[in-house]
Structure 1
Amino acid sequence: MEPKLSEAVEQWFSWNKDESSSAEIKSLVDDKKYEELEKLLLSRMEFGTAGLRAKMGPGFSQMNTLTIIQTAQGLLKYAQKQFTTEELATKGIVIGFDARYNSKSYASLTASIFARAGCRVRLFSNICPTPYVAFSCRFYGLCLGVMCTASHNPKQDNGYKVYWNNGAQIIPPHDRGISEAICENLEPWESSWDIPLIPDIYENNLISDPMAEVDIEYMKLLKTSSTRLEKNKESKLKFTYTPVHGVGTKFVKLAMETFNLPELIEVPLQCNPDPEFPTSPFPNPEEGKGVLKLAIEAAEAEGSNHVLASDPDADRLAVVEKQADGSWRAFSGNELGAIFGWWAVSNWKKNGSQDGENTYMLCSTVSSVILKTIAAKEGLNFEDTLTGFKWMGSRAKELIDQGKRVLFAFEEAIGFMFGQNVLDKDGVSAAAVMAEIITSLDEENFSLSHQLENIYKTYGYHVTNNSYYICHEKSIINKMFSEIRNYDKNPGAYPQALGRFKISGIRDLTTGYDSREEDKAAKLPVSKSSHMITFYFDCGAVLTMRTSGTEPKIKYYSEMIGSSLESCKSELDELIEHMVNNLYKPEVYGLIARSLN
């Protein structure tokens, strides 16, 4: 064994008091599996703006009791630098957890470390949706929040998402500051291994359970988003709902009741939380009808034409609708964003107090620009941000603090923020609002598909084509993007065309280059730790390629705007084919195409 690895092994055994994970490391040592030990012990999980998300297991590179103790200690030390002792003692932190393996213990661990340092802690006593943590940060005026969840990842993963006092997920420089503080506090404090669990943990008078109050206050504010509480009572529609083995059932039911909407049809095999995800190993409803097969079957059996689905931590929403020909249509995030945006602006116009100058809609830069088109036509403001709700939430708070109103924000990955109650994507409120939209349209004998067509006829067809390739080797991803930035072995030269499609502008948010700006400098923040290049074409198409911060995916997003659906689709399909052949080169780089099953 190399000295460096030997030192890391000794460090692990010295710091770790969890017998099961130490036994796994010892077994690898005994079997002389040094390559695997190097992967587990010679690198650490990277703490970024998404916090942590990784596989659970032994070693410094995975989620386990020791690495979460290190993370909580670092987060506490960073918080103590950013807030006064009095602020932490009176405002403090809120902590929630989903139904995954170890989420509750990671949450309890964090709560006990903060409470021992004299911090006020609100720890949810049971599983809760991620939006409850974001909501609580602002509602209680707290310093920060933590949600233990890996969202829609497979069962072997978990995560640690951090919110700041603005109620949004952290953005720079907090991610870097927390990461540095973690590395400065790696050795566990003796008390950190004393982890009282729920309900015993509430014997500490600094720790309380906010669940009952947040249920009431969240729903009270959500109720203000409804525009037809009395009319909803008359609806005979049936809505089928699945949380895909996650936390959503109780909370989406409460939201539907709050809106006076019909009782939900549940999917028996998926309605209860289950960390095994037995019917859906990849519980991501964004993948469409494949993940929602059981929900569609339940809807068919009960005569329901609409399926609503949350991801396992209930911060995102998928929608599937039965069509006139009996087929089922899964709407993309961009299509749902168009429908939500239309609804938000329609209600804003109806209230008669339109102040377009101080009213905004937001979306991420890889999402459809349909909100930009709607805003321009209807006389309100639009802004795009970097990818991720951390940026939209933070920008929304800045606008709110300036006396502005944010009607709606969304990202194409089925994330929706309706109103200003939660400055993050919220699948609970989105489910209730979408059910209300469907109920309203039904009175006019309209389906969601019909209304989407009307939106496109009014504002132009905004056709998107988004997907991804999988690559587990970072070096290959780096090589691929390097070749794009040095196209045809031309140093510093990007491609000038893809097939017949001429490129008129390029923005590279990894290097900070933007050919469209006079000084060639990008206006959005730059991140050297990830890849993101956007190509703008003479024909009006936009194409973005980026790496994922939480998954081994190289994603692409494209959009074409025009007056004809068919021509937009045809041209976009041709453009994507050129992109795959000339930039992705899956055969050359060994990339795995997205499975559509």
Structure 2
Amino acid sequence: MEKGLSSTGDIKLDQAINQWLEFDKNPLTVEMVQSLMKDGSMEELKKCFGSRMEFGTAGLRAAMGPGTACMNDLTIIQTTQGFCVYLEKCFGDTLKDRGVVVGFDARFHPPSGGGSKRFARLVAAIFTSRGVPVHLFSDITPTPFVPFTVSHLGLCAGVMVTASHNPKQDNGYKVYWENGAQIVPPHDHGISTSIEANLEPWPASWDTDALSDCPLLADPYQDTCSHYYTAIQKHCHYRDINKSSVVKIVHTSVHGVGHSFVQSAFQAFDLRPPYAVEEQKDPDPEFPTVKYPNPEEGEGVLTLSFALAEREGSSIVLANDPDADRLAIAEKQKGGRWRVFSGNELGALLGWWVYRCWKLTNTDPLAVRSVYMLASTVSSKILRAIALKEGFHFEETLTGFKWMGNRARELLDQKRTVLFAFEEAIGYMCSSSVLDKDGVSAAAIAGEMTSYLATKNTTLSQQLTAIYEEYGYHITKNSYFICHDQKVIRALFQRLRHYGNKHEDQEAVSYPSECGGFTITSVRDLTTGYDSTQKDKKAILPTSSSSQMITFTFSNGGVATMRTSGTEPKIKYYTELCAAPGNSDVAVLQKELDDLVNAIVENFFQPTKNNLQPKPE
């Protein structure tokens, strides 16, 4: 027995390992576990078997490898069995009439034999073994194609096997409901409970060979592609201008799935095909040219794109993450510097453009009353400012496109028009054909916007300034601290809830009223459900006691949200200074926001700062 490990812990670990070896039929992962046992690698065994991946509203995401804490054949089988049983309970026999769709990206993990295509085929084998029709994509696809197919074919659910922009060793299992949006509570809890009740593999669950002549299996690839591009063409408004456009655009898929799909989207919009970054255009699960395959990281991921743009005389770079549901844009400035737009800045540009195009085709002045735009609560409030002036509706949701997608579906069912939704993490829904972020349609629509502005001798940067001049500057500054100690995280947030109390265990709520000289006018705590702006002090947005999230609004127009990440050991903070139209001294506004951020870090983070690691530069 290892020192420091209780006998109870030893027994539970042994039980988990023994059950694994009993259930697992993948010789590679079995050998990996047996090797760790032979070598006495207790720490590694505890990493693999000390916990089980938790199924949440984001599905699953973890490193590929053996054990209950990792993504592998057995955990995919267990998850899918639980999900299948839950769907049978929810839909009954209609599940066998309507079916599900399964997609996958290009990730692969040679040591364990695990990979997105292998996992997707296991998912298909399990559903078909229960008599459920499965629309299994025959090749890699962008994540947005799965929710599109759910809606297009009227299916009960969808599964996308992807880890999006996570490191190469990771993979994930993303679930969509019949409404075409990601699952939200209580489905996550129901699926999780069902998984726990169906851990032993069914006899047919490993039999992917049965898929070769399975009458319940169909390939939606061609049909989905055809209808998807037809659907997004409805958002192309300047076809004639696009044909004569001289704008040169560079695109990178960062070794992911996006290349051919973005090329096709540009073709559907009659746009000049973007130049592809040759070293990154083909899928490669090793992501050899980037440290992190996430275009949100900015210049480090876009180095090869900038080099190609310089060679081709291009001033615009578009970048998708590996599963093509996000979009980043960079523009060359005077003097040769490249500007990588933040997610909030792109939200302003795309939101302005989508509304402008809608307005041109809708002459009824009353129609705007049924128009909605959405953004997550940690994203810029620029859409709110535009909505106030233009007369449409703006709503904010909890963080994550699952909330925006489900709210969009509710509004669409009420015959409302949902034009646009975005989150600051470079996620954009420019078309209600996909109730999730979609980097493919966003790329084409951004290409059209750029081409149109070029005919007016206007750059993206100039247009962004024009938006801020008209609707008010919205300057943001976001970052995070790394913290692996949950006690430190809880202590930090509890201190904020009991800021004016001598003892943190007092029941009285006493949030801070100021921060380094900045007056706080309201507080919303979506962990406890408290909102000082409501008469009953109860938050309108859904709350979750399992995650930390507090928003402070300041008298100077500043807004700051501190929250924990659901997938990473981070405490994130999001700040924005919202100025009224006419206040255009950007340098003064930026300094005021910098001072506010410094005050937040100094006063709200300082007591635990020794236990926090700042964001790597």
- Superposition TM-score tier, normalisation by shorter sequence: over 0.9
What whole-Å deviation, never above 9, does each CA across 1:505-556 have from its counterpart, x for those lacking one? 1111111111221111111001111111101111121000111112222111
In the other structure, the counterpart of 2:470 is: 458
1:88, distance to aligned residue in structure 2 (A): 1.5
1:576, distance to aligned residue in structure 2 (A): 0.7
2:175 alignment partner, SS class: strand
Alpha-carbon distance in 2 for matches of 1:297, 1:433: 24
- Determine whether 1:292 maps to 2:292: no
Query: What letter matches 2:96 in structure 1?
Result: A
In the other structure, the counterpart of 1:26 is: 34
Note the 1:39-58 alignment, pairs <5 A: 39-58=47-66
**Structure 2 residue corresponding to 1:246, chosen from 256, 266, 269:** 256
In the other structure, the counterpart of 1:569 is: 590
1:302, distance to aligned residue in structure 2 (A): 0.9
In the other structure, the counterpart of 1:590 is: 611
Alpha-carbon distance in 2 for matches of 1:175, 1:568: 42
In the other structure, the counterpart of 1:532 is: 549
- Determine whether 1:442 maps to 2:454: yes
1:502, distance to aligned residue in structure 2 (A): 1.1
In the other structure, the counterpart of 2:80 is: 72
Quick check: 1:93–1:143 contact (8 Å CA) kept in 2?
yes
Quick check: 2:125–2:206 contact (8 Å CA) kept in 1?
no
Alpha-carbon distance in 2 for matches of 1:470, 1:57: 24
In the other structure, the counterpart of 1:517 is: 534
1:82, distance to aligned residue in structure 2 (A): 0.7
**Structure 1 residue corresponding to 2:369, chosen from 354, 357, 361:** 357
What whole-Å deviation, never above 9, does each CA across 1:393-424 have from its counterpart, x for those lacking one? 10000000001000111111110001211110
Alpha-carbon distance in 2 for matches of 1:465, 1:344: 25
**Structure 2 residue corresponding to 1:110, chosen from 123, 132, 140:** 123
**Structure 1 residue corresponding to 2:181, chosen from 138, 148, 168:** 168
- TM-score norm. by structure 1 comes to 0.97
Quick check: 2:431–2:441 contact (8 Å CA) kept in 1?
no
Alpha-carbon distance in 1 for matches of 2:63, 2:499: 36
Alpha-carbon distance in 2 for matches of 1:477, 1:149: 29
User: Kindly, what percent of the aligned residue pairs are identical?
Assistant: 53
- Gapped regions of structure 1 (runs ≥ 5): none
Worse overlay, 390-399 or 17-26: 17-26
In the other structure, the counterpart of 2:395 is: 383
Worse overlay, 422-431 or 39-48: 39-48
**Structure 2 residue corresponding to 1:90, chosen from 92, 97, 122:** 97
1:11, distance to aligned residue in structure 2 (A): 1.2
How many pairs were matched up? 592
What whole-Å deviation, never above 9, does each CA across 1:316-364 have from its counterpart, x for those lacking one? 0000000112110000111011111111221222121341221111111
- Determine whether 1:322 maps to 2:332: yes
- Determine whether 1:264 maps to 2:274: yes
Query: What letter matches 2:186 in structure 1?
Result: P
1:428, distance to aligned residue in structure 2 (A): 0.1
Query: What letter matches 2:319 in structure 1?
Result: A
Quick check: 1:70–1:182 contact (8 Å CA) kept in 2?
yes
Alpha-carbon distance in 1 for matches of 2:612, 2:280: 32
1:474, distance to aligned residue in structure 2 (A): 2.9
1:466 alignment partner, SS class: strand
1:202, distance to aligned residue in structure 2 (A): 4.4
1:90, distance to aligned residue in structure 2 (A): 2.1
In the other structure, the counterpart of 2:423 is: 411
- TM-score norm. by structure 2 comes to 0.94
Note the 1:5-24 alignment, pairs <5 A: 5-24=13-32
Alpha-carbon distance in 2 for matches of 1:5, 1:244: 39
In the other structure, the counterpart of 1:187 is: 200
Alpha-carbon distance in 2 for matches of 1:502, 1:311: 39
What whole-Å deviation, never above 9, does each CA across 1:232-254 have from its counterpart, x for those lacking one? 11112111000000000010000
- Determine whether 1:149 maps to 2:157: no
In the other structure, the counterpart of 1:392 is: 404
Distance 1:397 1:358, change over 3 A: same
Quick check: 1:202–1:208 contact (8 Å CA) kept in 2?
no
1:290 alignment partner, SS class: helix
Worse overlay, 245-254 or 544-553: 544-553
Query: What letter matches 1:66 in structure 2?
Result: L
Query: What letter matches 2:189 in structure 1?
Result: R
1:431 alignment partner, SS class: helix
What whole-Å deviation, never above 9, does each CA across 1:471-490 have from its counterpart, x for those lacking one? 23333322322222233654
In the other structure, the counterpart of 1:60 is: 68
Quick check: 2:492–2:608 contact (8 Å CA) kept in 1?
no
Quick check: 1:155–1:281 contact (8 Å CA) kept in 2?
no
Query: What letter matches 2:493 in structure 1?
Result: F
1:29, distance to aligned residue in structure 2 (A): 1.8
Alpha-carbon distance in 1 for matches of 2:556, 2:131: 60
Alpha-carbon distance in 2 for matches of 1:236, 1:490: 66
- Determine whether 1:482 maps to 2:494: yes
